[in-house]
Amino acid sequence: MDEKVSHLVNMAVSQINAGMVILDADHNIVLWNRFMQIHSGISEDDIKGKNLFDRFPDLKGSGIEKKIDSVFLLKNLAFTSWEYRPYLFKFANTHSVIGDEEWMQQDCTFSPMIDESGTVTHICLSVFDATNTATYQKKLLRASGSLMKQRNTLAEINKKLEEAQNQLLQSEKMAAVGQLAAGVAHEINNPVGYVNSNVSALEGYINELLQMLAAYEVCEPALDQNNALTEALEQAKKSIDLDYLKEDLIDLLKESKEGLDRVKKIVQDLKDFSHVDESEWQHADLHKGLDSTLNVVNNEIKYKAEVIKNYGEIPEIKCLSSQINQVFMNLLVNAAHAIEERGTITISTGTKDNGVWVEIEDTGSGISQEKLPRIFEPFYTTKPVGSGTGLGLSLSYNIIQKHKGIISVESEPNKGTRFYIWLPIDIEFDDNSNANVA
């Protein structure tokens, strides 16, 4: 190379906007260019001939020795990337005004310097400032991280929507069941009606027959004592156990009538509960609603709680009674669930401020102060997966809202919970209200 070119090469090495360090086989520094001098604050004279690892002890034991060995042995290139090793040399950040990296982020390359015989005599280490890239990359990572988070939230919401849809399907199913129940109730009503009137007639006839029998019995002593007829009569009486029969007949009739009453009641409850024929605002007796709901959920309650009714005097109110019944059902089922062994559920009613109130109180587990504000949230549930949907109370809340009523709760852990509902007697709609839409 002529002298002029070699001078230019020296200039280039000095001026190039990247760090350049040359190491010999013993890791001693042979060249330390201007970039390195400026950023390290160490002059070339100070560092020339010094061992790299002595001057920068942090590099020891971090895999750099092997990298250098591999370059000497294999004549390959070795690299470091800011992503996994932010820097090789701790230089102050070049982007000190704007930017959040404290130290200059570096990409470095170790290249072999090979002589004519094919031996690696030196290693050229180049250091590139990657702070800019690193900053952008990190911003990008953060952005994609928050996108990821949003995506996850969306996925979660999606899942909840799916659950809500299931719930809706469920309530549609319930409606269908209600309709079916109403149909069945109607079908049962007719036979039950004539069985009922027949039993009433039967009761009358039997009473008359018994009177007739009594009359005959009075005549009995008038018969000849040793007559064979008297004998036969005695025999027959004994064989049918007449006294018992007379008693049992009365009981049987009584039980049958009770049974019939119960069938009638259940049929009526099913009709009241489903209210298929009544999706419009109508005046309804809340006591009837409470009683029919209690009957429907009887199975869930009877082993858990004794139900005490403290019904006051209340007028009929204008409401969507099937929906109000749904609220009662939710509250009653929750109350039963809250009771672990056995307890009581007290239902009280009364009037206040042009409205009717209903209180459902249980002696169950109660709700802690932190959880209390959350129970009306949709999907809030403390019950195991599959048994609670967390929709009961939120649905109830919406229904009461639609009725322009109030629902509130008081609770004490380990003592019990009291839900309070107030509903106006005569709900008034704004002109543009669509409250009619169920």
Partner 1 sequence: MIQTKEQFDEDRRDALQEVVNIAMGQAGDSLAKLFGTFVELSIPKFHLCDVNELNQELSKNSTYAEKMTILRQPFSGQLRGEGIALFNNSGVNELAVLMGYEGEVTYSNEREMLLDVCSILVGACLNGVASQLGISLSYTAPTIITKDTTTEKFFKPESIQWRYAMIMEVCLTLEQYDFTSNMLLFLSEESFPPLMNKLDQMLDEL
Ligand X SMILES: Nc1ncnc2c1ncn2[C@@H]1O[C@H](COP(=O)(O)OP(=O)(O)O)[C@@H](O)[C@H]1O
Q: Which residues bind Mg ion (CB under 5 A)?
A: 334, 392
Q: How far apart are CA 271 and CA 144, in angstroms?
A: 57
Near ligand X in 98-157, by CB under 6 A: none
Place of tokens 């380990």: 414
The string of DSSP letters for 199-252 reads: HHHHHHHHHHHHHHHHHHHHHGGGS-TT-HHHHHHHHHHHHHTHHHHHHHHHHH
Residue 227 DSSP one-character state: -
Taking every pair of Cα atoms in the chain, the longest distance, rounded to a whole number of angstroms, is 166
Query: Is 82 in a helix, a strand, or coil?
Result: coil
Q: How far apart are CA 170 and CA 37, in angstroms?
A: 75
Q: Does 394 bind partner 1 (CB under 8 A)?
A: no
What's the chain's Rg over C-alpha atoms?
A: 46
* Minimum CB–partner distance for residue 136 and ligand X (Å): 47
* Minimum CB–partner distance for residue 86 and partner 1 (Å): 9
Measured from the CB atom, the residue of 19 and 364 that comes closer to Mg ion is: 364
Residues 314, 364, 422, 423: which binds ligand X (CB under 6 A)?
364
Measured from the CB atom, the residue of 355 and 364 that comes closer to ligand X is: 364
Q: Which residue from 13, 35, 38, 41 is spatially nearest to 128, judged by alpha carbons?
A: 35
Measured from the CB atom, the residue of 392 and 416 that comes closer to Mg ion is: 392
* Residue 343 touches which member of Mg ion, partner 1, ligand X, none, C-beta under 5-8 Å by kind: none
Q: How many residues bind ligand X (CB under 6 A)?
A: 22
* Minimum CB–partner distance for residue 289 and ligand X (Å): 19
Site string for ligand X, 324-353 (x = CB under 6 A): ------x---xx--x---------------
Near partner 1 in 45-104, by CB under 8 A: 60-67, 69-70, 73-81, 83-85
Q: How many CB atoms are located within 10 Å of the residue 248 CB?
A: 11
CA 124 to chain centre: 62
Query: Is 31 in a helix, a strand, or coil?
Result: strand
* Residue 362 touches which member of ligand X, partner 1, Mg ion, none, C-beta under 5-8 Å by kind: ligand X
Residues found near ligand X in the complex (CB under 6 A): 330, 334-335, 338, 362, 364-367, 375, 380-383, 388-394, 417
Residues found near partner 1 in the complex (CB under 8 A): 60-67, 69-70, 73-81, 83-85, 107, 109, 118
